[in-house]
Amino acid sequence: MQPSAVTNTTNLTASPSQFYTWQNYRCTYEIHQPTNTTSEGIPLLLIHPIGVGLSRQFWQRFCHEWYNSGQRNSIYNPDLLGCGESDMPHLAYTPSDWAEQLQYFLQTVVRQPVIVVVQGALLPVAIALVQKESNLISRLVLSGPPTWALMTNKPPEWQQKFIWNVLDSPLGIPFYRYARTPKFLRSFSTRQLFASESAVDAEWLNTLVAGAENPASRHAVFSFLAGFWRQDYTNFMASIQQPTLAVVGETASSISQNNKKETPDDRLANYLACFPQSRGIKINGRNVLPYESTAEFVAAIAPFINEVS
């Protein structure tokens, strides 16, 4: 199922897939450990992005580079419900649903504080997780957080429901069938995710195609496209006391609702002004930094993580 490059990377650091049951659903995760030495420091909890074919496999390059650079923290890398090897029930998923899944995972599997590393627009899941289980969250790393307007402006509820109902109708099946083709995935990744077209490689495309093979994986993607994650999180972000590091790509892209382009500096400034204990850094890359700029991303976050190790 996985391309050989991903498989080889996984075998260097990861356990086989492991499972736990949450609300009668089977959920999957893997634990990464440094090879030939013992783990040290606070474990990392990775939250993967939602999208066609995306799952915990998104983090494989990061995990390999983390240990290749000499870091020794254990890494917990779960599949969110509806993704990867976890069950894929027909639900309209919200950030609160995934946060409850991760809360249970922390309480029953990890059972110690973690540093959360969250990719992109799954930031609302990390925010909800802090609200639910603050004592088990030591720090936060925001990888390519969304444009500020998306985190502070809630669309009308009818709009979210309308989009969901259209996508969840029979019309959504052929749409998803097309969205999981290599042609579409390459085009979308080039237009929206990567700074360089050459970075959209076979490993990336093969992993997405394999991850989207099960048509039931569309429910999590459609929930994301419907915008159920869109709220005004200003007050929630301002209440988070954990030290927070925001990492933004030099060519991070997005257009806010008023069609005003937001620069990476603007984005960083907005997040740093809202999170009480925050700092920020820009690195090369666009919107999927742990994959497209792996070594630079690791170098950017390691000092922040090692402060508490």
Which CATH number does the domain housing residue 11 bear?
A: 3.40.50.1820
Q: Specify the number of domains making up the chain.
A: 1
Quote the pLDDT of residue 309.
62
Q: Is the pLDDT of residue 299 over 60?
A: yes
Quote the pLDDT of residue 62.
97
- Kindly report the pTM of this predicted structure: 0.92
Dump strand ranges (E) for 18-168: 18-22, 25-32, 44-47, 75-78, 114-119, 137-143
Average pLDDT, the chain: 91
| Residue-wise pLDDT tens digits, 191-239 | 989 999 989 999 999 999 999 999 999 999 999 999 999 999 999 999 9
Top pLDDT among 34 and 245 is at 245
Instruction: Tell me the pLDDT band of 75, cut-offs 50, 70 and 90.
Output: very high
Q: Is the pLDDT of residue 286 over 60?
A: yes
11 contact partners, CB below 8 Å, separation of at least 6: none
Rounded-to-integer distance, Cα 26 and Cα 185, Å: 28
Quote the pLDDT of residue 308.
87
Top pLDDT among 259 and 262 is at 262
Specify whether the CB–CB gap between 257 and 149 falls below 8 A: yes
Dump strand ranges (E) for the chain: 18-22, 25-32, 44-47, 75-78, 114-119, 137-143, 244-249, 278-283
Run of H or E including 57: none
Instruction: Tell me the pLDDT band of 14, cut-offs 50, 70 and 90.
Output: low
Q: Is the pLDDT of residue 88 over 90?
A: yes
Quote the pLDDT of residue 5.
36
Q: Is the pLDDT of residue 11 over 60?
A: no
- Residue 13 phi, psi (nearest 5): -135, -15
Check the CA dihedral 285-83-126-261 and report its sign. positive
No. of H helices and E strands in the chain?
Answer: 14, 8
Q: What domain range is 44 assigned to? A: 4-306
Residue linked to tokens 């969840």? 168
Quote the pLDDT of residue 9.
39
